[in-house]
Amino acid sequence: AVPSMAVEKLPELERLDFLQEGRNVVLAGNPGTGKTHIATALGIRACQEAHKVLFVTVPRLLTQLRESHSDRTLRQMEMRFENYDLVIRDEFGYVSFDKQVAEMLFTHLSLRAGRKSTIITTAAAAANLSFDRWNELFGDPVLTAALVDRLTHRAHIVNMNGESYRLKQTKEMIEKNS
């Protein structure tokens, strides 16, 4: 059920060359197409190769950023973040945020740009892999353009549009029980 572009790209991503190259991976598509599953599998593969990996949902990251800012421990959090070989940011674009949090998230994600790899899973860029909707999240076209520029520069962008496996299973269950 994994979209064809992902099936084609998986063997290359599984080699983890993107980690040595400091390249990002953007898994973009509608819900239920395996974005989180693939990101998690790549994270596990990186752990097996003794890489330091962090997995966190973006809503949880936003909470951590707000709390660190309030506690005046934001720089400590950023320093820890920079030490990971791979950071997986799941569910990017599912929740919007205010300007202050948008700026903190931008700074946070920019720390790794061009040096260390980040995997982003997002439905926000699903339509033809257009990142135009991200402006709705950040509320600032300049900030959005800079973030998209940093995240997508030399990135592997994988179109994960396809049929939701969850929806497919639900339909099958309904048909079976009918």
The count of other CB atoms within 10 Å of the CB of residue 175 is 8
pLDDT digits (tens, 9 = 90+) for 60-112: 998 999 999 899 998 999 888 899 999 999 988 777 778 888 888 888 888 88
Predicted pLDDT of residue 130: 58
Average pLDDT over residues 139-168: 86
Using alpha carbons, list the distances in angstroms from residue 27 to 16, 68, 73, 80, 155: 15, 28, 31, 24, 10
User: Band of the pLDDT at 128, cuts 50, 70, 90?
Assistant: very low
Reduce the secondary structure of the chain to three states and give it as a string.
Answer: CCCHHHHHHHHHHHCCHHHHHCCCEEEECCCCCCHHHHHHHHHHHHHHCCCCEEEEEHHHHHHHHHHHHHHCCHHHHHHHHHCCCEEEEEEECCCCCCHHHHHHHHHHHHCCCCCCEEEEEECCCCHHHCCCCHHHHHCCHHHHHHHHHHHHCCCEEEECCCCCHHHHHHHHHHHHHC
- pLDDT reading at 169 higher than 90: no
More confident site: 46 or 176? 46
Q: Are strands 25-28 and 156-159 parallel, antiparallel or unpaired?
A: parallel
Helix 58-71 and helix 74-82, axial crossing angle in degrees, nearest 10: 130
Percent above pLDDT 70 for the chain:
94
- pLDDT reading at 164 higher than 70: yes
The pair of structure tokens assigned to 153 is: 């520069």
- Residues in contact with 98: Cβ distance below 8 Å, sequence separation at least 6, in sequence order: 139
- pLDDT reading at 129 higher than 50: no
Average pLDDT across the chain, whole number: 87
User: Band of the pLDDT at 35, cuts 50, 70, 90?
Assistant: very high
User: Band of the pLDDT at 124, cuts 50, 70, 90?
Assistant: low
User: Band of the pLDDT at 17, cuts 50, 70, 90?
Assistant: very high
Predicted pLDDT of residue 29: 87
